[in-house]
């Protein structure tokens, strides 16, 4: 008899099973933003890719010339996107190419090396354009 069973034997309780699921996501994160940097980024992203449909989430279309063959073939899933999550002190983007049209599809997957590099360069260029030091 384990500890939980012995406790429940002497008290009025019901054993419950807990399941913890942890998902790991590859991301590009720039944290410790200053308030002025956050405001400049929010203004830029709102003007070019928003306003945000969900608080702080922006959908950045992936350049057509770096799509994989399957992403290019899936016209019903296009355009494919990276999402950028901006909050008061950080900007984060998952290295996952996704679609607004479907939740699951063969064309939704982790970025290729060229897509990942494109996203990092894209975000870094925004910081350079806005003169935000990282």
Structural domain includes residue 6: no
Structural domain includes residue 16: no
Structural domain includes residue 5: no
What is the residue range of 49's domain? 24-129
pLDDT tens string 59-117: 999 999 999 999 999 988 889 999 999 999 999 999 999 998 877 888 898 999 999 99
Q: List C-alpha distances in Å: 21 to 18, 24, 53.
A: 10, 10, 27
Number of domains in the chain: 1
What is the pLDDT averaged over residues 3-28? Answer: 58
Structural domain includes residue 78: yes
As a whole number of angstroms, the distance between CA 82 and CA 62 comes to 7
Structural domain includes residue 13: no
119-128: buried (b, 16+ CB within 10 Å) or exposed (e) per residue? Answer: beebbeebbe
DSSP 8-state secondary structure symbol assigned to residue 54: B
Structural domain includes residue 14: no
What is the pLDDT averaged over residues 7-25? Answer: 56
Residue 97 belongs to a domain with what CATH number?
Answer: 3.30.310
Structural domain includes residue 92: yes
Closest alpha carbon to 86 in 44, 24, 23, 131: 44
Q: Residue 18's pLDDT is what?
A: 59
As a whole number of angstroms, the distance between CA 106 and CA 127 comes to 32
pTM of the model: 0.77
User: At 11, is the pLDDT very low, low, confident or very high (cuts 50, 70, 90)?
Assistant: low
């Amino acid at each position: 008899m384990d500890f939980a069973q012995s406790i429940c034997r002497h008290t009025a309780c019901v054993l419950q099973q807990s399941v913890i699921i942890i998902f790991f996501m590859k991301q590009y994160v720039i944290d410790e933003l200053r308030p002025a940097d956050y405001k400049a980024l929010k203004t830029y992203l709102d003007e070019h890719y928003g306003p945000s449909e969900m608080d702080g989430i922006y959908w950045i279309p992936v350049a057509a010339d770096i799509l994989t063959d399957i992403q290019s073939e899936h016209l019903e899933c296009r355009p494919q996107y990276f999402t950028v999550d901006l909050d008061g002190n950080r900007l984060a983007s998952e290295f996952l190419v996704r679609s607004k049209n479907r939740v699951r599809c063969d064309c939704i997957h982790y970025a290729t090396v060229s897509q990942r590099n494109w996203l990092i360069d894209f975000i870094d260029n925004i910081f350079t354009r806005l003169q935000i030091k990282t």
